[in-house]
Chain A
Amino acid sequence: VSSLNGAVRAVPVRPGEHACCRFADAGDRERLAIAFVRDGLERGEKVMYYADRDDVARMLTRLEEMDPHLEPALTGGQLEVRPASETYMPAGRFDSDQMLGVVRDEYERALEEGYTGLSMTGEIPVALCEAPGREQLALYEARLERDHESVPADAPPYSILCQYDHGRFAPAILSDVAEAHQVDVSPELAPIGRNGHLAAARDRAHDALRLSGELDYGCAQTVSEVLDAHFHGPLRLDLADLSYVDVAGMRALRGRKGQPVTIASASEAVRRLLELLAWDTDPGIELAEAG
């Protein structure tokens, strides 16, 4: 199912979603982006990566270092890496019409080239913080979200992961930007992703915390700490993409205080453990029906 060297796919973004990642640490963003790229490649989609580096060749080397499996996709053209600044700010300024055009064109091109869909991730250039047109960013993301929602359900998916450096963009811009995404991989969730086989995101559309990958006693403590620090009151969880969970992991989801939780969606692994732990009849746990 998966291979060693930590290359487990823990991607809290599902096909066809518009997500933003707001981690402050470049390494954290990169780890998530690589998982997103691999996920798209494995689904047979075209994958575009817009890297905010002066030297795209160095970015290619970096990608191959992080995941040697990406090399054939790069050679074969399934994965393309482009400089972000030239794409987002072609004449030194950001223009939302122009950028929306890029996304639409790439989607069409992916389908013309015979791919099953498009996965696109961009490191929003840090230079954009100061560039003319920067006030259009939130507007652009909102229009992209609307565009995205209008894609028919049976059309090939296009998934977008927008990467924002939390330390560089103004808080007001970031909060508008986050609101324009269905899925928000918000800064406080970064520690959860650091062991490489678990990832978390806020599903804004369903007001749920989503966990994907494998939640075991090795990372349970981190999850528990993040929940205690940042999630107060009733918690709504989307655990449909949790392929593995153990007792310590399940316990962590209730935090230190054993708070009530709603499990909006559960994978087979989660469902089985809930039954074994008798949590399926626990009044503190609301479990949405299967299917």
Chain B
Amino acid sequence: MSLTHGIFIYDDDDTMLQKMAPFLESGLERGEAAVVVVARRKWELLADALGPAGKKVSHIDCGAFYTRPEDALAGYDLVMRQLLRDGASAVRAFAELPRCEAEEEWSSWIAYEAIVNRALEHHPFWVMCGYDRRELPEALIEGGLQTHQHVLADGWERNAHYRIPERVVAYHAPPPTPLRELRALPVEDGPRAFRERLSAELSKSGVPEYEAGDIVVAAGEVLANAQLHGGERVSVGVGCLGDQFVCEISDDGPGIDDPLAGYVPPRLGTSDGAGLWVARQLTRRLELVPTPGRFSVRLWAAADNGA
């Protein structure tokens, strides 16, 4: 069994309870684990409807879980790995995205829903994404229809609106931030010296220590990719744009043309692409920027530089 990623669109609590309570119950009866990632109010309604069976369901607050797509992907992967290790044969989940106001926010969650189809495809995971018309903007619901292979209406149906994840992610990727000239950091004398230089730059720019440590690890992974797999000429530039610090690592190789690069968690026994996964996990914003003849990865951090 592998991933089943479905969408369930509704506009009142009764419909939600009528569909979701039996969905979770039948999983429990088969010995599967059950997880619910929704706001507290809906969890209380569901727990009430489930009765004693509700005690076997784990609830995770959706606001705390869906902080950003990178974290949610890692979160589901971890939940799955732990439940399977602890003996579950499969996992069912009912999950709802948090409310979001700004377009760039929902755009990133549409991309997230698309990535789920690849990132979690190997797990025996049946996740039902609830889209509550009362809470979500129409554009997000439309995006939801493009990113789930199955749709729950009267029964389960193949979703005709489903589009391949790479296209959806590419469409929703924000354009790269325009940059002025950056200061060059030498990279020829090895990764250790590079880390020292980058640490000094981060500290000079007022990037808080905990974030600076993460950026150093993330940049190390990106530089490793560039130097081990990229083109001949690798260069690094750093600088500040307002209150943002940026480190750009470029090479003249073919670059990465997979819009999902770094979003797919490493799987057992393989570590291909793990460097970019680590870099994305540790960076608040990571951009892949192809330009003619060069390919760049940009890592952003918050700088407390008085700007």
Contact = CB atoms under 8 A, between A and B. Distances in A.
A273 B74 CA distance: 13
A277 interface: yes
Nearest to A275: B78
A247 B81 contact: no
Given A258-B269, A276-B277, A246 B81 contact: no
Secondary structure at chain A's binding surface: helix, strand, loop or mixed? loop
Given A246-B220, A278-B81, A218 B268 contact: no
A281 B78 CA distance: 9
Contact of B192 (A216, A248, A251, A284): A216
Contacts of B195: 244
A115 interface: no
B77 A273 contact: no
A184 interface: no
Given A276-B278, A277-B278, A281-B82, A216 B196 contact: no
Contact of A281 (B85, B191, B196, B269): B85
B267 interface: yes
Among A214, A216, A247, A269, chain B packs the most CB atoms within 10 A around the CB of A247
A8 interface: yes
B192 A218 contact: yes
A282 B271 CA distance: 12
Given A4-B196, A278-B81, A247 B224 contact: yes
B266 interface: yes
Given A218-B190, A258-B269, A247 B274 contact: yes
Nearest to B74: A276
Contact of B266 (A2, A214, A269, A278): A278
A69 B74 CA distance: 45
Interface residues of B, number: 30
A247 B218 CA distance: 10
B115 to A, nearest CB: 16
A217 interface: yes
Given A244-B217, A277-B266, A281-B82, 15 more contacts: A195-B192, A197-B192, A217-B220, A246-B220, A246-B275, A246-B278, A247-B221, A247-B275, A248-B224, A258-B269, A277-B278, A278-B265, A278-B266, A278-B267, A281-B81
B307 interface: no
30 contacts: A8-B192, A195-B192, A214-B192, A216-B191, A216-B192, A216-B224, A217-B191, A218-B190, A218-B192, A244-B217, A246-B191, A246-B220, A246-B221, A247-B224, A247-B271, A247-B274, A247-B275, A247-B278, A248-B224, A258-B269, A273-B278, A276-B74, A276-B281, A277-B266, A277-B278, A278-B78, A278-B265, A278-B267, A278-B268, A281-B81
B125 to A, nearest CB: 15
Give 3 nearest A-B pairs by CB, closest first: A281-B81, A217-B224, A218-B191
A276 B193 CA distance: 24
Contacts of A282: 268
A168 B253 CA distance: 50
A278 B221 CA distance: 17
A245 to B, nearest CB: 9
B228 interface: yes
Given A246-B217, A247-B278, A217 B77 contact: no
A243 to B, nearest CB: 11
A142 to B, nearest CB: 38
Interface string A6-38: 001000000000000000000000000000000
A278 B77 contact: yes
Contacts of A214: 192
Interface in B253-275: 265-269, 271, 274-275
A269 B216 CA distance: 12
Nearest to B267: A278
A247 B277 CA distance: 10
A251 to B, nearest CB: 6
B276 to A, nearest CB: 9
Interface in B67-96: 74, 77-78, 81-82, 85
Contacts of B81: 278, 281
A217 B271 contact: no
Interface in B226-262: 227-228
Contacts of A247: 221, 224, 271, 274-275, 278
Interface in A245-263: 246-248, 250-251, 258
Interface string B21-37: 00000000000000000
A247 B224 CA distance: 9
A250 B220 CA distance: 14
Interface string A45-65: 000000000000000000000
Contacts of B267: 278
A247 B268 CA distance: 14
B274 A277 contact: yes
A8 B195 CA distance: 13
B266 to A, nearest CB: 5
- Counting chain B CB atoms within 10 Å of each CB, the highest count among A214, A277, A278, A284 belongs to A278
